[in-house]
Structures are given as C-alpha cells and as structure tokens.
C-alpha cells in the first residue's frame, strides 16, 4: 500500500501548468513537496495565502506562516498574504482550478463527506463546502479503508455530505480511480503489488475495470 507521501506524489502528477490550486488539510498539503520543477502553479490556502512553497526545513520555520491546517509553510517569490474574506471571495468567484481534499467517504456518484462525524466535536466545517461548490476539478486523497477495515468508497455516503456529485478523481493507498459521470469508480491504476481483486474486495461502490490495469510509477 502507498504511504501518505506516495499518495501526494501521485496526485502531483495531475497538476497542470498555470493552475491555481487549493490544498486541503492532511495528505493534500504534502502535494506541495512534489510539484514537478517544470510546472508553474500557484498554491492557495483559505486562511489567506497565495503562493505556498514546500514545507520548511528546520532552519526555515517561521511560526507566523501557516496553512489552513496550522502547519508551518514556506512562501515562494511573489507570494501574497490577505484576509480569509478575500480568500473565500477568490474561491467562490471560481478562480481556483483544482482542489485537492481529504475525505472520510466518497460515493460512486462523486458525493464527498469530509467535514463531520456524528457524535464528535468539530471546530467548524472549514472551507470544504465552498471549495467543492466552486472548484473546476476536485481530486480526493484518502485511505481506501477505515481503521477497522471498512471501505470508504461507497454506494452512498453514510456521513453528512459536504458536496454532491463533485469529485472527479480519487487517489488512495491502493488505487487511482475516476468517478464516471453515470456513476461508478473506474479503476485507472493500482498501487505496486496490489491486485485488482484486492481493490475490488475493498470497494463497496461499483468498481469498473476495463482491460489490464497498470501499476503506478514513481520516479
């Protein structure tokens, strides 16, 4: 199975030159470390940052520079700092081309649940609802199964839904999957050493398998 860093590394291959990209809390923040050098993108955080760089080394840490997940970050040349109100105006105005989010559940129709677990205290829903309603493309980074072995790729989400029919692609520790317009998870790639049969057994929603499924490649 892929590590969290490998999931982020694989997602980094999906970014396109010139995109404005929002990185959600958790695994998505790691994508900043794997943006190809020949690709020029602008990373945005909803707490008011535009132009996020890789995570800092020990001597680069500045406690005043944090992302939405309260992790210290670096800033690239030309970066900007502004209020969260301006940040959300940018998101709601449709100026973010790609959003990369974590999720607790995704349905075969592309619904995402990632903001609340019933019975557990949360400080707020964050910016996820605005992001899934406004971004042109949404990629989810997540574990394929929960800690107790239950599939997180479902026919229908059981947790409170953040957005409906919005997820386009998912990268898990087992596979890369595309959510089809008519519903279903189309298997595009599998993690090294992971069989199609294992992915099928751990996917509750409809899995679409066409032809030979290649293994993911890492440089």
pLDDT in tens, 51-68: 999 899 999 999 999 988
Distance, in Å, from the CA atom of 30 to the CA atom of 124, rounded to the nearest integer, reads 22
Catalytic residue among 37, 46, 178, 212: 46
Query: Sorting pLDDT into bands at 50, 70 and 90, what band is 148?
Result: very high
Dihedral sign of CA atoms 197, 210, 164, 174 in order: positive
Pairing of strands 137-141, 98-102: parallel
| H or E element in which residue 186 lies | strand 185-190
Q: For the segment 198-210, what is each residue's pLDDT rounded down to a tens digit?
A: 999 999 999 999 9
Dmax over CA atoms of the chain, in Å, equals 50
Q: For the segment 86-128, what is each residue's pLDDT rounded down to a tens digit?
A: 999 999 999 999 999 999 999 999 999 998 777 776 666 667 8
Distance, in Å, from the CA atom of 111 to the CA atom of 53, rounded to the nearest integer, reads 30
User: Structure pTM?
Assistant: 0.92
Dihedral sign of CA atoms 126, 127, 133, 138 in order: negative
- At 16, list the tokens: 């396109």
The question of whether 37 is a catalytic residue gets the answer: no
- At 181, list the tokens: 């317009």
Mean pLDDT, the chain, rounded, equals 93
User: Which domains are assigned to the chain?
Assistant: 4-208 (3.40.1080.10)
Distance, in Å, from the CA atom of 160 to the CA atom of 14, rounded to the nearest integer, reads 28
Is residue 181 a contact partner of residue 137, using CB atoms and an 8 Å limit? no
Q: With 90 as the cut, is the pLDDT of residue 9 above it? A: yes
């Amino acid at each position: 199975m892929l590590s969290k860093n490998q999931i982020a590394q694989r997602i980094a291959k999906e970014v396109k030159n010139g995109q404005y990209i929002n990185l959600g809390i958790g695994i998505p923040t790691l994508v900043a470390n794997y943006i190809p050098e020949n690709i020029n993108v602008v990373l945005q955080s909803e707490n008011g940052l535009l132009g996020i760089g890789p995570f800092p080394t020990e001597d680069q840490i500045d406690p005043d520079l944090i992302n939405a997940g309260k992790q210290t970050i670096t800033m690239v040349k030309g970066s900007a700092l502004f209020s969260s109100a301006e940040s959300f105006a940018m998101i709601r105005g449709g100026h973010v081309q790609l959003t990369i989010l974590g999720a607790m559940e995704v349905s075969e129709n592309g619904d995402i649940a990632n903001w609340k677990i019933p019975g557990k205290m949360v400080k707020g829903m964050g910016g996820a609802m605005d992001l899934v309603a406004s971004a042109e493309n949404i990629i989810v980074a997540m574990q394929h199964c929960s800690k107790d072995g239950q599939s997180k790729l479902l026919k229908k989400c059981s947790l409170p839904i953040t957005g409906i029919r919005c997820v386009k692609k998912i990268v898990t520790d087992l596979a890369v999957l595309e959510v089809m317009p008519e519903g279903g998870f189309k298997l595009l790639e599998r993690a090294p050493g992971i069989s199609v049969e294992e992915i099928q057994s751990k996917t509750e929603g409809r899995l679409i398998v066409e032809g030979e499924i290649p293994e993911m490649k890492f440089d």
